Amino acid sequence: MITVPQTPITEASFRKWKCFKVDIKDDEIEEGEPVGEYWYWIIPLVDADESHFLKIEDYYPHMWSSENGEFMDDEGNPVYSVFMFDDDLPALTTEEEVEIVYQILTKRELYE
């Protein structure tokens, strides 16, 4: 039996992969909730300059993460899921899954 490691996706994962961080400021206050600032990470599936990519990200193929505060580990640190193409597809929850899917889609390593 082969045991594959299951490393949770954290901010360190996205930094290692040299992903783009997208900041969002939520100006709408819903039911007494404070104004929030959130971020998520983008993993482009094509080579692109970050500033150009973020202006037209809807048109480039990419994977994206859950927001920073959506899931937390036992120590209160953000743990992310990664989604591709459509919200109906299963989320990727480990570094190993993301790296394998990226390699399948691009024929390249996610980081070198």
Span 82-102, pLDDT tens digits:
998 766 778 999 999 999 999
H or E segment and range at residue 97: helix 95-106
Q: List pLDDT tens digits, range 52-76.
A: 877 777 788 888 898 877 788 888 8
Distance between the two ends of the chain, CA-based, in angstroms? Answer: 28
Q: For residue 84, what pLDDT is reported?
A: 84
pTM confidence score:
0.80
Q: List pLDDT tens digits, range 4-37.
A: 789 999 999 999 998 999 887 766 556 555 566 7
For residue 41, the one-letter residue type is W
